[in-house]
Amino acid sequence: MSKKNHAEHNERACSFLYEDGKYPDWVVTTAFYSALHYVQHQMFPADIKLKTYTSFENYYNGHYYNVKNKPNKHVSTINLVFSEIGPEEGALYKWLHDTCRTARYRSFQTHPDVAKKSRDKLVLLKESITK
C-alpha cells in the first residue's frame, strides 16, 4: 500500500468516526496518522543534504546512522515537515501530532470540538500538499 493510499484509508476512517460521534479520541488519532502518511508521501523520495532518500525509513536510518541522542521518528518527521514542506504545514502537522499524543497517552476523553479541529487541520494540511 502506498503512503497516499494509507493516508486516504486513515482519512476515511477519521471521517467515519467523526460522523459516528462516539470516539473523538480516535478521530484525533486517525487524523494525525492520515497526516503522517500524506506528508511522507509528499516528501519522499527526497534529496536532503546532498543525499537521495527513497522513504522516511531510508532517511531516518541513513541520516541518523551512528548519531547519539537522535530524535525519535515523530520528532524527526515534524522537523522535516517544517524544513521540506513549509512552516504553516509544519505547524499544522505538529498540532495534530501533539493532540494525538494527548488523546492516546494522557486523556482519551477528548472533547468533540478537538475532534472537529483535528479534521479541519487535516483538510488544510492535505490541501497544501501538491503530490
This prediction's pTM = 0.94
pLDDT in tens, 88-115: 999 999 999 999 999 988 878 999 999 9
pLDDT in tens, 12-68: 999 999 999 999 999 999 999 999 999 999 999 999 889 999 999 999 999 999 999
* Cα-only R_g, the chain: 15
Total domains, the chain: 1
Tell me the CATH number at 54. Answer: 1.20.120
- Judge contact between 30 and 120, C-beta under 8 A: no
B/e letters for 99-112, b = 16+ CB within 10 Å, e = fewer, are bbeebeeeeeebee
- Of the candidates 46, 67, 68, the residue with the CA atom closest to the CA atom of residue 56: 46
Q: Please state, in angstroms and rounded to a whole number, the distance separating the CA atoms of residues 120 and 21.
A: 15
The grid coordinates of residue 50 equal 546532498
Given the C-alpha cell 515523530, which residue does it identify?
74
